[in-house]
Structure 1
Amino acid sequence: MTIYSWVTLTGYLLASLCLLLLVRNHLRFNNTKSQTLNKLEASEQGFKERENNLVKAEARVNEALKLTKVGIWEWDIAKDIWFATPSYFTMLGYAPVEGSADRKTELDKIHPEDREHVTSTIKGILNSKKAPNYYKYQARIRHYDGDYRWISVRCIVTEFDKDDRPARMLGVRIDIDEIQKAHDQVEWLAHHDSLTKLPNKESLNKIFQRVIEADIKLALLFVDLDNFKTINNNLGHATGDQLLLAVADRMRALVDQSGYVARQGGDEFIIILYADSEKQLTEKTAEIKSALSERYHLDQHQFFITPSIGVSLYPKDGKDFDTLYKQADTAMYHAKHAGKNKYAFFTEAMQANTTRALTLSNALHDALEQQEFTLHYQPQIALDSGKVVGAEALIRWHSKTLGAVSPGEFIPIAEESGQILAIGEWVLRETVRQLQQWRSEGFAPIRVAVNLSYAQFQGNDLPTLISGILEEYNVPADYLELELTEHIATNNPEHTIEILKAFQQLGIQTSIDDFGTGYSSLSYLQRFPVYKLKIDQSFVRNMTTNTNDHIIVGTIIVLAQQLGMKTIAEGVETKVQLDLLKSIGCDDIQGYYISRPIPADEFKDRYLQSDRNIII
């Protein structure tokens, strides 16, 4: 539900209360008491009793409006009489105005940067005839203490004059400052790395699109720190984060005005450099490698860490960001495999040597027929009760020729080759079949979540496919949960809304996975019929030692609460993380602290044949 939808709903809920206020003001400003008495044929005593009751009702309404931070106003345009409920003023710290108030005074409180938008919006409705008969906007309005707060306003024309011009308006405004600040935090998160404050990959892509020109030459550098995991494992993530900050600072200084730096995630960085000549680019790349390899002094520790760097060139190697990124990534792995602490420029020969990827792609064609896939299930725990309330189905592949292959390796290949559609359908079918088996064995199955791939979500027949599978196994729709990543959800928002509504009609609940790692416009997020946000493990992992990650996790939880959604944190590995998540209002968790993903039979024995309570 969008903020404007919320305003509309609030307006409807308060409509009857508004009528009380309007009647009160009608009596106050139009002096029609004697006419009303005649029409109603009531005694003066009865009228006074009704008026007293109306005054009391108005007082109760005003108290309710104060609590909800909702203000209601009415404007008689022809007579230029404007008045508002006390809550209209008190929500921003001002004393209520009895009777008619000064519109100009209220307009002067609008932030200078927003004032033109507001006044033009109002003028637009005043200068129009019957259609449209409403307007809406968000603006910053000055609080009594001098600060500005975000306010949402929605107005409807209630009367027109003989020329079909607006003659009277009724409006509602709501204090949305906390929601807007949460939105701003998520918007910042969508474009920046929380640790280093560098732009992220998505943001760098936007920069790339902005700076490319027909005759410009650019280089994309993919930088990976060699053996960084060893430092994290031996000295802890806090020390690892300090080192990443130091590396980021060096990169900023090295690149300066010659390009842009972004953090891809983990120990990976991306640099875009202006490359007027290959000689100049080679010298700059060598300088970056050398500088990043110099000694780091962090507290009582001294470190030497080296980078492996892959380089691709625009427009020689590609004309779009994703192609250059993949080619630089390929070149980086070539440099790493060549001994690390090196840089390599992308060549077609590197592309031809991706034997492993080709081998996996060929093996995937036979994996379904050979029944090489299985599903493991990771329990999801409610923090308020300690009960197992759900599980996530995760695919595992044990190839008869290649052995165990991690999902992180074969799923991208399956997506690229198109085989993910068949694999995704198998996962859905096997999950529902397993739910049906547990039911037939007398267990009350819990809800099981299945991840949807980008390719699956692009088709319009997905709801029909899932509906058919549920009907085939006679499994209720509310036992199945569908997860889609933030990237999938926001790639084509209107298509997303259409598919999610189809799921909703089937009775299937959906959630947003890896929330915080992509870009979510609040306007779309509120329109998505999803019930849960899954907080990405990259924030959970460091939230006990990194203040920024702690704030981000808390912000996502507040945002979800404001939108009426639940939250689940993934990648919970310690009791400290669990306790902190519980203290800031997270609903559910999953992670190795509770259990690794386990086969179906083991999951049944451990969680379905007991009361499913977990000691947390």
Structure 2
Amino acid sequence: MKIKNLHYIVFITVFLSGILVSVVPWKVSPIWVFGLLALGSSLYAKKLLSAYSSALAYANKRIEIDELTGLLSRYQIQQKLNELLVFCQQKDKKLAAMILDLDHFKTINDAFGHEIGDKLLVQVSERLTSIVPENTVVGYLGGDTFLVLLVQGDDQEMPQLNLLSKDIIHKISQSYFVEGLTLDIGCSIGVALYPEFGLDAVTLIKNADMAVYQAKNSGRATYHFYDGEMGRRFARNVRIETRLRQGLQKENLELHFQPKVDLVTESCVGMEALLRWEDEELGVVSPAEFIPIAEQSGIILPLGDWVFEQAFRHIVEWQRQGVAVPPIAINCSAAQLKRVDFLPKLLALLDKYKVDPTLLEIEVTESILIEDPEGCAELLRHLSRLGMALAIDDFGTGYSSLSYLKNLPFDSVKIDQVFIRDIMNDESNAALTNGIIRLSHSLGLKVIAEGITDVEQLALLREYGCDIGQGYLFSKALGAKNMGSDPIMIAFNE
């Protein structure tokens, strides 16, 4: 019987007692009847209260201890952090909050199911508690995230957090055996220190979370300490993401077009569409800053759709004005190419604006070729059959595998400007550039060099046999309205 029904039980008991007393012969004293009933009610109430206390204790234990891992629960670890902060303030001690986040845990959940994932979490919890120093507080925040709290000892020495972080990462990353499976998983760690970077629990956890985010962006399986600059940078990134969403809705972005020039004839042979953004609050924001944020936040998908549509609109407008249009190169992110509706959307836009597919060149980075080689290969072959040119962008900065140069229908390779920038002063950059050009030519591919800024670079690239160049030596990126008046475009039309 539930405790909430106790008042009904008392009412019924008293009511029945009254009836019983009214029908019992008066030789039995009513006081005995009521006495026995009161004793029974008392014993029953005691039993109910005992059950209630047990249930309450069990509920409190579940609130304090995570049922799966046996570690302190999210609620309790935060309460413990508050207590430790008060203690550290009174004793003038330091405290480190370490957030540990497992790398690629979702992959294991997706591949083997949540039951295996839960058993892996149990083993990780046991291993983590065996690694950390004595008197360390360890809690489970949920998902694949743990919180470790370390307080400065009585000897006024803080644990060597660098060595401890390395040790945790090394030992957590060793193999686990779960239900006959050998599983490998890594972890990333973010650290925030009291009092330097957080005087309360909320701020300290938030800053440690920012640090672990930075560790994951640095390649995972590493650790990072929060600092003030990270907070300012994170705040700016959040502001950029917010303003970028608004700017996309209001179409405050612009496409500019940088000519690509044949290094032998110095004639325009194409243009690359480049995003430009000047925000009312942030001012001019570089693509090198906002494009990575767009990729991480998912804004890159609607942004990519917008770029294609704007490029097609400009092509139609130029053709209406009688301006001859060279092929336009558009950069595509890995997220765009992995969408199942990428090709149907592109074909729909081509049909909507009646744009010739041969006027398009699709530039892809090497990362997509590594992440999804089969799906990407099929898509690229389809695009090539439609007449679009294909180029590998930023070649030399990634994996630079030769297999996809040989097996996929690329037309050209773009050498990243980091090689071109120091080509005159760095012999290794010059040698790499020369090697890429020779290799590409042997495979029947043209080579495009980005970031050419002076005639010495141009002369050396011509000597190496580079086919096409981009850079301020020839022209900056042009606004759509300036295409008809630019000398390079005039020459191209003539």
TM-score band (shorter)? 0.5 to 0.7
CA deviations 1:151-170 (Å, max 9, x no partner) are xxxxxxxxxxxxxxxxxxxx
Partner SS, residue 269 of structure 2: strand
147, 169, 187: which one pairs with 1:314?
Answer: 169
Question: How far is 1:282 from its partner?
Answer: 4.9
The answer to whether residue 395 in structure 2 is matched with residue 540 in structure 1 is: no
The 1-side partners of 2:298 and 2:259 are apart by: 30
- Whole-angstrom CA distance in 2 between matches of 1:326 and 1:474: 47
Q: Provide the residue aligned with 1:473 in structure 2.
A: 353
**Distance in 1 of aligned mates of 2:214 and 2:411:** 39
Paired with 1:347 and 1:355, the residues of 2 have a C-alpha distance of 13
What is aligned with 2:411?
531
Alpha carbons of structure 1 residues 395 and 278: separation in structure 2 relative to 1, 3 Å: farther
Given the alignment, which residue of 373, 382, 386 partners 1:493? 373
Query: For residue 111 of structure 1, what is the aligned residue in structure 2?
Result: none
Matched residues in 2 for 1:470 and 1:559: separation? Answer: 34
Equivalent in 442, 459, 464 of residue 584 of structure 1: 464
C-alpha spacing 1:321/1:374, structure 2 compared with 1 (3 Å) = farther
Q: Match of 1:515, as an amino acid?
A: F
The equivalent residue for 2:13 is none
**Which residues of 2 match residues 102-141 of structure 1 at below 5 A?**
none
User: Do residues 606 (structure 1) and 472 (structure 2) align?
Assistant: no
2 CA distance for matches of 1:443 and 1:312?
64
Q: Is contact 1:372-1:400 (8 Å) kept?
A: no
Q: Which of 229, 247, 250 does residue 370 from structure 1 map onto?
A: 250
SS at match of 1:415: helix
Q: TM-score, normalised by structure 2?
A: 0.56
The SS at the match of 2:392 is strand
The structural deviation recorded for 1:487 is 1.6
- Are the structure 2 counterparts of residues 463 and 539 from structure 1 closer, same or farther at C-alpha, using a change threshold of 3 Å? same
Secondary structure (helix, strand or coil) at the match of 2:492 reads coil
1:283 Cα deviation after fit: 8.6
Structure 2: 5+ residue runs without aligned partners? 1-102, 104-122, 130-156, 174-184, 191-208, 218-222
CA contact 1:452–1:482 (8 Å) conserved in 2: yes
How far did residue 444 of structure 1 move?
Answer: 1.5
Q: Which has the larger radius of gyration?
A: 2
Q: How does 1:372-387 map to 2 (within 5 A)?
A: 372-387=252-267
Show the counterpart of 1:423. Answer: 303
Cα pair distance change 1:592/1:349, threshold 3 Å: closer
**Preserved CA contact (<8 Å) 2:263 2:462:** yes
Does 2:267 align with 1:412?
Answer: no
Pairing partner for 1:520 from 384, 397, 400 = 400
Structure 2: how far apart are the matches of 1:526 and 1:609? Answer: 34
For residue 283 of structure 2, what is the aligned residue in structure 1?
403
Q: Would the alpha carbon gap of residues 402 and 608 (structure 1) be closer, same or farther in structure 2, given more than 3 Å must change?
A: same
Report which of the two has the higher share of helix: 2
* Pairing 1:593–2:445 present: no
TM-score, normalisation: structure 1: 0.46
For structure 1, list consecutive stretches of 5 or more residues without a partner in the other structure: 1-204, 206-212, 218-276, 286-310, 334-342
CA displacement 1:419-476 (0-9 Å, x = unmatched): 1110111001111111111111112200110100121011122122111111111111
**C-alpha displacement of 1:389:** 0.6
Q: 3-state SS of the aligned residue for 1:464?
A: helix
- Residue deviations 1:212-260, cap 9 Å, x none? x97699xxxxxxxxxxxxxxxxxxxxxxxxxxxxxxxxxxxxxxxxxxx
Secondary structure of the structure 1 residue equivalent to 2:484: helix
Q: 1:589 to 1:320 in 2, by over 3 A?
A: farther
How far off its partner does 1:484 sit?
A: 0.6
RMSD: 3.8
Instruction: Give, in angstroms, the shift of residue 416 of structure 1.
Output: 1.2
Structure 1 residue 502 displacement after superposition: 1.4
Q: Deviations over 1:504-524 (max 9, x none)?
A: 122111100000111133223
Whether contact under 8 Å (2:420, 2:450) holds in the other structure is yes
| CA deviation map 1:26-46 (0-9, x unaligned) | xxxxxxxxxxxxxxxxxxxxx
Written as runs of structure 1 = structure 2, the 5 A alignment for 1:16-27 is none
Question: How far apart, CA to CA, are the structure 2 residues paired with 1:416 and 1:281?
Answer: 29
Is 1:455 the equivalent of 2:351?
no
Q: Answer yes or no: is the 8 Å Cα contact 2:211–2:224 preserved in 1.
A: no
Please list the CA deviations of residues 247-304 of structure 1 after superposition, one character each: whole Å capped at 9, or x if unmatched. Answer: xxxxxxxxxxxxxxxxxxxxxxxxxxxxxx984565999xxxxxxxxxxxxxxxxxxx
The answer to whether the Cα contact below 8 Å between 1:470 and 1:476 also exists between their aligned partners in 2 is yes
Give deviations 1:475-522, integer Å, cap 9, x for gaps.
111111110111222222111101101111221111000001111332
SS of the residue corresponding to residue 354 of structure 1 reads helix
Sort the Cα spacing of 1:353 and 1:404 in 2 relative to 1 into closer, same or farther, 3 A.
Answer: closer
- Using the alignment, how far apart are the partners of 1:538 and 1:575 within structure 2? 17
8 Å CA contact retained: 2:214, 2:224 = no
Counterpart residue type for residue 552 of structure 1: L
Q: Distance in 2 between matches of 1:587 and 1:562?
A: 13
Distance 2:417 2:187 in 1: 26
Q: Report deviation, 1:525.
A: 2.4
Deviation at 1:357, TM superposition (A): 1.5
Matched, 1:354 2:234: yes
Match of 1:549 in 2: 429
- Structure 1 residues 323 and 369, CA gap change in structure 2 (3 angstroms): farther
Give the Cα separation in 2 of the matches to 1:415 and 1:378: 23
SS in 1 for 2:473: coil
Aligned pair in 2 of structure 1 residues 589, 608: CA closer, same or farther (>3 Å)? closer
Q: 1:476 to 1:314 in 2, by over 3 A?
A: same
Residue identity matched to 1:565? L
What's the secondary structure of 2:453's corresponding residue? Answer: coil
Shift of residue 550 of structure 1? 1.0
Correspondence for 2:316: 436
The secondary structure found in structure 2 opposite 1:611 is helix
What letter is aligned with 1:429?
E
Change (3 A) 1:402 1:328: same
d(CA) in 2 for partners of 1:370 and 1:427? Answer: 14
Q: Trace 1:62-461 onto structure 2 (pairs within 5 A).
A: 279-280=159-160, 282=162, 314=169, 320=186, 327=211, 330=214, 345-346=225-226, 354-461=234-341
| Residue number in structure 1 paired with 2:72 | none
Conserved? CA contact 1:443–1:608, under 8 Å: no
